[in-house]
């Protein structure tokens, strides 16, 4: 902390800041016998950190007619990253998601999956200082099929 009494300036220097240093900082001025005017000020420090490479996972059974959720999460990032999924066919052609698909906070939910949903899925984690991506290959397989004969 630097204090210049002649110019009535105090300066707080923060070095090697990390995301844990993001918070409100308050400066209070105490002058004996002077209680007029503003005696404190607050400022917010937001340490910017690009998103770390997200971790992609599949939740559920990757077989015909099942529901699955693809998850994507960066462990670091400030401000908090936003996530976007993209889908590509097995021929690597961009394609829209099926109508009932939901995408929220890095989770992409696919319902009643079929062979046509096989392909490549890419999740991008982005904030104002950077982006990072993960990708996965989804191969939807037929489940066990039982054919029975009743007599």
Name 125's bridge partners: 83, 132
CB atoms within 10 A of CB 73: 19
Q: What is the pLDDT of residue 36?
A: 76
Q: What is the pLDDT of residue 151?
A: 47
Are residues 63 and 27 part of one domain? no
User: Cβ neighbours of residue 149 under 8 Å, at least 6 residues apart?
Assistant: none
Element (H, E) at 18: none
Tokens representing 102? 């939901």
Q: What is the pLDDT of residue 51?
A: 98
* Predicted model pTM: 0.78
Are residues 98 and 32 part of one domain? no
Q: Are 77 and 51 in contact (CB under 8 A)?
A: yes
The domain total for the chain is 2
Are residues 115 and 72 part of one domain? yes
Q: Taking the chain (151 residues) in consecutive chunks of 10 residues, what is each chunk's mean pLDDT?
A: 77 87 86 75 92 98 96 97 97 95 97 96 98 97 66 47
Are residues 89 and 41 part of one domain? no
Instruction: Give the CATH number of the domain where residue 65 resides.
Output: 2.60.40.10
């Amino acid at each position: 902390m630097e204090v210049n009494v002649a110019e009535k300036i105090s300066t707080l220097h923060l070095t090697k800041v990390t995301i844990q240093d993001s918070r409100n900082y308050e400066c209070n001025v105490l002058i004996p016998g002077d209680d007029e005017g503003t005696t404190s000020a607050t400022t917010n420090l937001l340490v910017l950190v690009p998103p770390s490479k997200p971790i992609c996972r599949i939740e559920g059974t990757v077989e015909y007619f099942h529901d699955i959720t693809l998850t994507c999460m960066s462990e670091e990032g400030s401000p908090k990253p936003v996530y976007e999924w993209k889908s590509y066919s097995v021929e690597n052609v961009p394609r829209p998601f099926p109508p009932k698909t939901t995408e929220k906070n890095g989770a992409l939910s696919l319902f009643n999956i079929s062979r046509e949903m096989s392909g490549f899925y890419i999740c991008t984690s982005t904030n104002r200082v950077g982006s990072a991506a993960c990708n996965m290959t989804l191969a939807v397989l037929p489940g066990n099929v039982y054919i029975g004969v009743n007599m």
